[in-house]
Chains A and B, each alone.
Chain A
């Protein structure tokens, strides 16, 4: 017990000693000084917290139709804000505010899910291409070129349309597939650059095993751009997922609280209650902006040219 504590203490001491000096700490320090990074981080953090606690803080049930809101609901009138209903109701008499909150969670699940799947597949392809080179590289890259040549939204629509019945899972898969070639290309390029770097040559000159060269010397040095791209991809994934729902290729259940779907359904009522379209759109923009700013700041912080 005491030895465990002691070891932990030693590790903390070691960390404290190296603080502000390792590459990651250095990048973090630069991030904290950049206003762009702080704004991006703030928006992202807000989104993450809201998305996670949404079901607990939502004032009303987002799927329930409330008599107070249904009472005055007419084809040419949707009730606005009233006590208990912060932003009033939607076209079916549900609490608009609660639905917006829960929509954040849907976007987070789809965005993170799609990015993680895309990242895993992309790194597998890009890593193999970069590590083996030669014909493996050629074939894998031709494959990604084909995927890249199709506009990503079009590709996502095609994949989503292949599923007989749309669901959240098909949206995640469709968006994930479109991000695969980007991650693959990026990692492959970074790894090829590493392959010809001096320190990889030096490691090879020491007879280090190929596996070790790839996993210890090439891969960790190639991850910077991939990390940045993941952050940026989160933004596009959320937008693409919303687009698919907007086009009716997501879960067909109209009661689902999803920003893209809400945006799509509100089209018909745009002259009755424009807020129904306005708020989900603003929410999507803010979240995408947050991830993009954070990604750009991260890119700058990890760029060795900016090191001081």
Chain B
């Protein structure tokens, strides 16, 4: 049985007097124990909202969450606030994007690590401090004993993210959600943090949901990848088939827009036309149609369904044929 089964998750934001906005529109995926699953997409595609919905961290008002999020058989969406608080940090951990603002600036690092140990593992402050030093050491922070009494602003960006990972994994949760954990870091540090995450997840047998817009991160880490567009999964496949043969024009476009070191000099990047603002709702046709080089007349009339195949699931009327080179931008 899968550790986490997300079924038809839908998050609708509605404030009084405004049109409802569907941020996540029927997303389904599974995470097996120890597996790493990627949620990929550009800003505003609903990947962060999905993670917040799983954690039960969306604001209590102004939104409606439907569908189910079964964690070891229990639907997290039906749990009370209190039950959810008991699970967060213990069964489910989360690492956020900006390590500086995710740490409390006025209390020392040590207290922020021991806090979760005292809360979920019932440790005394003293025992928790010893454990905290051990944890910081394990995530590669040198001289952890001294770091415990330091404040977040005294640590470097990479150190802070290491500390946050230590905090998130302190109670050995079975599922860790990492929401763009490397976006705010230098490129060299990014690689270190990713390697660390990979190693820890393997050692502890923790399942990982990796949320990112960086396909390089996905390539190095994820077993399975879900590509999101406009709140829906448009392509779902294992890592190798996805990178070797992207079939959805969006995935194809994302991969084509990455600069290549082995490309010819002076080769132009191939961007995806338009921006997320060009989204149309999924009600009448494909939301990606206005930006899609492969769009047909049917794309603007019939909403494509997610169709499962042997190696991938795909939501597209006119997928990219295997072996097609990156689409060229048509001059206006």
Contacts and interface: CB of A to CB of B under 8 A. Distances in A.
Interface residues of B, number: 33
A207 interface: yes
Main secondary structure of the interface of B (DSSP, over half): mixed
Interface of B: 55, 57, 84-90, 93-94, 96, 98, 101-107, 111, 115-116, 119-120, 149-151, 153-154, 164, 167-168
Among A18, A202, A221, max chain B CB count under 10 A is at A202
B40 to A, nearest CB: 21
Given A206-B88, A206-B119, A221 B106 contact: yes
Interface stretch (A36-44, A62-70, A88-96, A209-217): A209-217
26 contacts: A14-B149, A18-B149, A21-B151, A21-B154, A23-B153, A198-B101, A199-B102, A199-B104, A202-B96, A202-B164, A203-B104, A203-B115, A205-B89, A205-B94, A206-B88, A206-B167, A207-B85, A207-B119, A208-B115, A208-B116, A209-B119, A210-B85, A212-B119, A216-B111, A221-B105, A221-B106
Nearest to B151: A22
For the complex of A and B, the 8 pairs showing the least CB-CB separation, nearest first, are A207-B89, A207-B88, A206-B89, A198-B101, A202-B102, A205-B94, A206-B116, A199-B104
Given A204-B88, A205-B55, A23 B105 contact: yes
Contacts of B85: 207, 209-210
A12 interface: no
B89 A208 contact: yes
Contacts of A198: 96, 98, 101-102
A147 B119 CA distance: 41
A126 to B, nearest CB: 18
A197 interface: yes
B273 to A, nearest CB: 33
A197 B55 CA distance: 17
B104 A221 contact: yes
A247 interface: no
Contacts of A197: 101
A198 B167 CA distance: 15
B115 A201 contact: no
A232 to B, nearest CB: 22
A199 B115 contact: no
A41 to B, nearest CB: 24
A202 B86 CA distance: 15
B107 A216 contact: yes
A220 interface: yes
Given A23-B151, A205-B55, A206-B116, A199 B88 contact: no
Nearest to B91: A207
Nearest to A196: B59
A228 to B, nearest CB: 16
A207 B151 contact: no
A220 B115 CA distance: 16
B103 A199 contact: yes
Contacts of B116: 206-208
